[in-house]
Amino acid sequence: MSSYSDLMDFTRETAALSLILDRLGWDMETTMPKGAAGQRSEEIAALEGVIHARRADARVGDWLAGAENDPEADPAQLREIKRSFERATKVPGDLAAEIARSVALAHNVWAEARASEDFAGFAPTLERIFDLRRQEATALTSGDLYDALLNDYEPGATGQSIAAMFDALRGPTVDLIDRIKGADQPKALSGHWDAEKQMEFSAKLAEVFTYDMSHGRIDRAVHPFSSGSGKDVRITTRTDEAAPLDCFYSTVHEVGHAVYEQNVRDDLGLTALGRGVSLGIHESQSRMFENQLGRSRAFCSWLGPQMAEAFGHDLGDADAFYGAVNRVTPGFIRTEADELHYNLHVMLRFDLERALLRGDLAVTDLPEAWNTRFKADFGAEVPSPSKGCLQDVHWSFGLIGYFPTYTLGNVYAGCLHEALRADLPDLDADLAAGQPAPAIDWLKERVHQHGASRLPAQIIRDATGAAPTEAPLLAYLNTKFSGIYNL
Amino acid sequence: MSSYSDLMDFTRETAALSLILDRLGWDMETTMPKGAAGQRSEEIAALEGVIHARRADARVGDWLAGAENDPEADPAQLREIKRSFERATKVPGDLAAEIARSVALAHNVWAEARASEDFAGFAPTLERIFDLRRQEATALTSGDLYDALLNDYEPGATGQSIAAMFDALRGPTVDLIDRIKGADQPKALSGHWDAEKQMEFSAKLAEVFTYDMSHGRIDRAVHPFSSGSGKDVRITTRTDEAAPLDCFYSTVHEVGHAVYEQNVRDDLGLTALGRGVSLGIHESQSRMFENQLGRSRAFCSWLGPQMAEAFGHDLGDADAFYGAVNRVTPGFIRTEADELHYNLHVMLRFDLERALLRGDLAVTDLPEAWNTRFKADFGAEVPSPSKGCLQDVHWSFGLIGYFPTYTLGNVYAGCLHEALRADLPDLDADLAAGQPAPAIDWLKERVHQHGASRLPAQIIRDATGAAPTEAPLLAYLNTKFSGIYNL
């Protein structure tokens, strides 16, 4: 046996154990009895401990050294295993344990502070989390601290390059929104939409978007999510009998994540590369499915009549339905935002968390900084912390460097969509026939199948012939919303 | 930190990891997508590997030695951890791996042989399994080989004592069945019973039998089972629209297993003692719930009218329903057997597997030995191997020493039921009011709460004041069926 084959055998088991974590997480949100939460947290902690110990196992270091000059060894596998080994070994055990403990406690503190609109009650906890993760970043790198954290979610990306991209995106986005403000607003859907029928319709939509139900399933949960990889990738959606579009586009969004995972090449399964490569590329797929494909004029011209028939509602003409699906409305809450406002929400968080990590912004000054920036970008006063800097769960989980991947996903989707349109001249005809499959085949070929064997920037370059930029996204948004709002 | 507290911390994590195995097994039979089976088997193998390595971890041996004279150490915890450590370390790794491999392959060989009525096709595999487990038993003990295997399922029991008990049970059971043969047979239920309504009614029955749904759930599966321990104990049942009693008594049976696990004392949770102590004691609870409580005349007098109302069927008078619930009908298949024939099925398997393990019976002679014994006990010729020695999955899984625990459970249930009736003079009144809860409280106090902290024989002695014998079971069966069949 070579070092490399030993390393791959060991990694295969670690990958299998990681898949179990996904299943436990899914179960918690769908089928787990309420009273089992405490026991489940012990199960998850025990399994995470096992996985962490395996990632940091000294033998992994030895095998990596032994495999370095092995011509049989896949450099991408070694790169990814090495990244996870260094991540697991560079951070002192005490610090890792302290982060895990603090984050476990922080969630409740945040939830209570949000419920009682009490930012001061959360501030010391938030300060501690930023401090601990700053220490972690310092252990990981001699370079930029933010990049060390970002690297976990978006390998190869840097805060600086993202900042440049986002700064270029921000002005034109605000301009476009300003122009929309003066225009006629399309009417939202109304009426009652049966929840069970929404679930049936979701299953049909999932199939249309090539979700493989023999390796997946759809359940209802409080928050829509996709979970798992390879041969078992499950999604959830939610229903609101007044808002069917929330259900359907949540479904299509999660199907985008899930199909990416289902389409990873079989030979990468149960290896370090057998998953989507980054949160940004993941989000590019979910957003592409949801927006560039699912909210396109062509697809809406198919979807509207399908919904009208399934639910017995009159949805007006194709323009009315397309408008209802793509209404632009400002709001305080990120998760409820439309395609334009969403990126403004993300950019605000990205700038603030970088400043907090650098120490340029004190945690106690966060609400003021948030509200000032919000006023500048959205033109409205934030009425209370729960509608401002206390709205998101991420920082309480210690997730710093995570937010930008949402908008990075939109930027990537813009790039991929431009290239896809150039390659598939019949795309609109396909979508108007309820057939996104040719577009998804294109994505499978260029993105999905590679799993984590290519880094994000490389995937975009290989698929589009150019490095990712915000320009295609801006062009797409301008064309789309100028059309809808007759600008 | 003492050796003992280190040992308990380590064991706590191992116990949590074992609970995850239960969840994966449950998921496989209920919610898992069909195409995920291959990936799941890798997940389970990886987790089992982790758990086995922890049980055999050299530190466990050191901690056990260090804790031996620690006055803080619970001797029952040490006893159970030591048992699992010795089990994990005495069997050579090569042999354990070979058993795992052989058993994994055997299942399909058995299934094909059964489908094609080809015992010869399974015989070499079965021989190999008995040979490997004989080697394993030899590694485990210098004493009786069968006992070494039995000890896994029924700690403290011996083949010899079980044989004496079973031999005393067999004759009177055959006699009772013979007398029933000449009597009038009660009518079976007829009509159509809606499957969804059966599931609703099952949930109601589960509640009546004190199943805690905040720490459990009921799903449909091909085979009814109970899964998990402590704060998350799930059951499944099945529905057949012609046979509602199969669904309801399967539910009550599994609730018996599940309530035992739910009622284990909190301070034993996530320790080596935090589960039911043995298969026999487990089966005593499921059979007591199902038979001594659920199929009692008193409970049937409540259940019949409840079913009649819920389903709108006329079920005749109380005697007719009680008779329908307790019909005695001979058959070739163990899993379909009534309260009387069931034990004959088990005793046959117990005697044969002991003879096979000792080498007194050759695998090639198994069909003839089976059929001869079946003729003697049941008075019928076995028409084909699938109705004889190929019917059960157990041996293909390597489960030798498992079968007797079924009848041991009935024997224990007989003992406990006798003591319970003496303590609870109002039992029949409670049951006739649809209230088994007082009886279950009695069982919780004497059996459930102790988990694995007391060995099976001790539990029976503490609860009844005497060692377990077959006499109470025989007395119960005689009285019950003499009444139903007017013998």
Q: How far is A61 from chain B (nearest CA, A)?
A: 20
Pick the closest to residue B54 from B25, B16, B92 (CA basis).
Answer: B16
CA pair distance A281, A270, nearest whole angstrom:
20
pLDDT, mean of residues A53-72 = 96
Inter-chain touch A42–B232, beta carbons under 8 Å: no
For residues B127 and B187, membership in a common domain is answered with no
Q: Please check whether residue A31 lies inside any domain of the structure.
A: yes
Say if residue B131 is in the same domain as residue B157: no
DSSP state for residue A232 in the 8-state scheme: E
Angstrom distance (rounded) from CA B64 to CA B292: 42
Determine whether the interchain pair A36/B269 forms a contact, defined as Cβ–Cβ distance below 8 Å. no
What is the CB-side half-sphere exposure of residue B100 using CA atoms within 13 A? 14
Q: Is the dihedral of CA A23, B8, A37, A333 positive or negative?
A: negative
What tokens does A246 get?
């929330």
Are residues B68 and B198 part of one domain? no
Count of domains in chain A?
2
Q: Could you give the CA distance from residue B21 to residue B342 in angstroms, rounded to a whole number?
A: 30
Mutate to test the interface with A, among B12, B43, B44 (most CBs of A within 10 A): B43
Alpha carbon distance B48, B97 (integer Å): 12
Question: How many secondary structure helices (H) and strands (E) does chain A include?
Answer: 20, 3
Structural domain includes residue A97: no
What does the pLDDT read at residue B47?
96
Question: Which residue reads 């307790």 in tokens?
Answer: B326
The alpha carbons of chain A give a radius of gyration, in whole angstroms, of 23
A281 and A144 in a common domain: yes
Q: How many residues does chain B have?
A: 487
Residue environment code for A391-422, b if the CB has 16+ CB neighbours within 10 A, otherwise e: bbebbbebbbbbbbbbbbbbbbbbbbbbbbee
Residues of B in contact with A232 (CB under 8 A): 32-33, 35-36, 39-40
Per the CB < 8 Å rule, is B13 touching A49? Answer: yes
CA B218 from chain centre, in angstroms, equals 19
Write out chain B residues lying below 8 Å of A217, CB-based. Answer: 31, 33
pLDDT at B104: 86
Domain shared by B110 and B151, yes or no: no
Nearest by CB to B16, from A20, A42, A231: name it: A42
Residues A365 and A471 in one domain: yes
In this predicted structure, what is the pLDDT of residue A329?
94
Q: What is the pLDDT of residue A48?
A: 94
CB crowding A211-221: b at 16 or more within 10 Å, else e: bbeebbbbebb
Q: Is the dihedral of CA A431, A437, A439, A443 positive or negative?
A: positive
Q: Which two tokens stand for residue B170?
A: 């067999």
Are B384 and B430 in the same domain?
yes
Q: How confident is the model at residue A93 (pLDDT cuts 50, 70, 90)?
A: confident
Q: Write the CATH number for B333.
A: 1.10.1370.30
Q: Check residue B116 and report its DSSP letter.
A: T
A226 φ/ψ angles, rounded to the nearest 5 degrees: -120, 145
Whether pLDDT at A57 is above 90: yes
Identify whether A139 is part of a domain: yes
- Provide the pairing of β-strand B226-229 with B232-237: antiparallel
From chain B, the residues in CB contact with A32 under 8 A are 232
Do the Cβ atoms of A33 and B270 come within 8 Å? no
Closest chain B residue to A269, measured at CA = B39
Q: Is A80 in the same domain as A126?
A: no
The whole-angstrom separation of Cα B90 and Cα B109 is: 29
> What residues in A contact B231, CB-CB < 8 Å?
33, 35-36, 38-39
Question: How big is the A-B interface in CB pairs under 8 Å?
Answer: 111
As a whole number of angstroms, the distance between CA B461 and CA B451 comes to 15
Residue whose entry in the numeric block shows the structure tokens 């603090």: A102
Structure tokens that stand for B355 in this block: 């003879």
Q: Which residues contact A199 (CB under 8 A, 6 or more apart)?
A: A218, A220, A237, A239, A247
Has residue A402 got a pLDDT over 80?
yes
Q: Give dist(CA A475, CA A244) in Å, integer.
A: 29
Other C-beta atoms closer than 10 Å to the C-beta of B338 total: 17
Tokens 């030895």, residue?
A: A62
Q: How far apart are the C-alpha atoms of A234 and B214, rounded to whole Å? A: 24
Mark whether B153 and B130 lie in a shared domain: no
- Both structure tokens of A278: 């980054």
Give A298→chain B minimum CA distance, Å. 32
Question: If pLDDT is split at 50, 70 and 90, which confidence band does A104 have?
Answer: confident
Tell me: do A27 and A144 sit in the same domain: no
Q: How far apart are CA A285 and CA A44, in angstroms?
A: 28
Q: Tell me which residue in B20, B27, B36 faces A215 most closely, judged by beta carbons.
A: B36
The Cα-based distances of A135 to A99, A106, A149, A354 in angstroms read 10, 18, 11, 15
C-beta atoms of B17 and A216 within 8 A:
no
Is A22 a member of any domain?
yes
B35–A270 CB contact, under 8 Å: no
Contact status, residue B168 vs residue B472, Cβ threshold 8 Å: no
Inspect the interface and report whether the beta carbons of B16 and A269 lie closer than 8 Å: no
Closest C-alpha to B165, from B476, B446, B473, B477 = B473
**Contact across the interface for A217 and B31, Cβ inside 8 Å:** yes
DSSP per residue, B450-466? GTTSS-HHHHHHHHHSS
For A305-333, letters b (16+ CB in 10 Å) and e give: eebeebbebebbebeebbbbbbbbebebe
Task: Describe chain B by its helix, strand, coil percentages, rounded to 5.
Answer: 70, 5, 30
pLDDT bracket for residue A54 (50, 70, 90): very high
Looking at the structure, tell me whether residues B174 and B114 fall in a common domain. Answer: no
CB atoms under 10 Å from CB of B125, counted, come to: 21
Residue A454 counted as domain residue: yes
Classify A331 as helix, strand or coil.
coil
- Beta carbons of A214 and B33 less than 8 Å apart: yes
CB B292 within 8 A of CB B252: no
The residue of chain A with its CA nearest to that of B43 is A16
Looking at this protein, which amino acid is placed at residue B266?
A: D
Question: Which of B126, B143, B160 is at the close of a domain?
Answer: B143
Chain B residues inside the 8 Å CB shell of A231: 33, 35-36, 38-39
- A227 with A162, same domain: the answer is yes
CA dihedral (B39, B42, B46, B51) positive or negative: positive
pLDDT at A182 over 80: yes
User: B42 contacts in A (CB within 8 Å)?
Assistant: 12, 16, 270
Q: Provide the residue type at A316 as one letter.
A: G
Distance to chain A for B107, nearest Cα, Å: 23
Report yes or no on A98 lying in a domain: no
pLDDT one digit per residue (tens) for chain B, 487 residues: 799 999 999 999 999 999 999 999 999 999 999 999 999 999 999 999 999 999 999 999 999 999 999 999 999 999 999 999 999 999 998 999 899 889 988 989 999 999 999 999 999 999 999 999 999 999 999 999 999 999 999 999 999 999 999 999 999 999 999 999 989 999 999 999 999 999 999 999 999 999 999 999 999 999 999 999 999 999 999 999 999 999 999 999 999 999 999 999 999 999 999 999 999 999 999 999 999 999 999 999 999 999 999 999 999 999 999 999 999 999 999 999 999 999 999 999 999 999 999 999 999 999 999 999 999 999 999 999 999 999 999 999 999 999 999 999 999 999 999 999 999 999 999 999 999 999 999 999 999 999 999 999 999 999 999 999 999 999 999 999 999 999 9
Which residues from B are below 8 Å from A when comparing CB atoms? 12-14, 16-17, 19-20, 23-24, 27, 31-36, 38-40, 42-43, 45-47, 49-50, 212-217, 230-232, 234, 269-270
B119 CB-near residues (< 8 Å, 6+ apart): B113, B366, B367, B385, B389, B390
CA–CA gap between residue B378 and residue B329 (Å, rounded): 11
Instruction: Name the pairing type of β-strands A232-237 and A226-229.
Output: antiparallel
- Give the per-residue pLDDT at B93: 87
Q: Is the pLDDT reported for residue A437 higher than 90? A: yes
Chain A residues bordering chain B (beta-carbon distance below 8 Å) = 12-14, 16-17, 19-20, 23-24, 27, 31-36, 38-40, 42-43, 45-47, 49-50, 212-217, 230-232, 234, 269-270
Residue A38, domain extent = 3-90
A233: DSSP letter: E
**A50 in any annotated domain:** yes
Determine whether the interchain pair A47/B231 forms a contact, defined as Cβ–Cβ distance below 8 Å: no
Token pair of B243, please? 């046979």
Alpha helix positions (H), B141-194: 145-153, 159-181
Say which of B80, B136, B154, B254 is annotated catalytic: B254
d(CA A34, CA A26): 14
pLDDT of residue B348: 98
Best residue in A23, A220, A271 for a mutation probing chain B (most B CBs within 10 Å): A23
**What's the pLDDT score for residue B483?**
97
Q: Which residue of B has its CA nearest to A23?
A: B24
- CA B358, CA A154: separation in Å to the nearest integer? 62
How close B463 comes to chain A (CA, Å)?
30
Q: Give the nearest partner residue to A215 out of B35, B50, B269, using CB atoms.
A: B35
Contact residues on chain B for A16, CB-CB shorter than 8 A: 39, 42-43, 45-47
- Cα separation, B302 vs A13, in Å, equals 53
Q: How far apart are CA B419 and CA B456, in angstroms?
A: 16
- Minimal CA separation from A104 to chain B, in Å: 18
**Nearest-CA neighbor of A256 among A443, A416, A462, A453?**
A443
- Select from B143, B176, B201 the last residue of a domain: B143
Active site residues of A: 254
Taking an 8 Å cut-off on Cβ atoms, the answer to whether A39 and B230 are in contact is: yes
Paired sense of beta strands B218-220 and A226-229, if any: unpaired
DSSP string, A94-142: HHHHHHHHHHHHHHHHHHHHHHTT-HHHHHHHHHHHHHHHHHHHHHH-S
The last residue of a domain, from among B143, B174, B199 = B143
**Chain A residues inside the 8 Å CB shell of B33:** 213-217, 231-232, 234
Strand boundaries in B213-298, DSSP class E: 218-220, 226-229, 232-237
What is the enclosing helix (H) or strand (E) of A364? none
* Beta-carbon separation of B42 and A16 below 8 A: yes
Starting at the edge strand found earlier in the chain, the sheet holding A232-237 runs: A218-220, A232-237, A226-229
**Nearest C-alpha of chain A: how many angstroms from B43?**
5
Residues in chain A within 8 Å Cβ distance of B212: 35
Are A216 and A233 in contact, with CB atoms under 8 Å apart?
A: yes
Of B12, B13, B217, the CB nearest to A33: B217
By three-state DSSP, how is residue A236 classified? strand
Look up residue B460 and give its amino acid.
I
Look at residue B1 in the predicted model and tell me its pLDDT.
72
Confidence of residue A449 (pLDDT cuts 50, 70, 90): very high
Contacts of B232 in chain A (CB under 8 A): 32-33, 35-36, 39-40
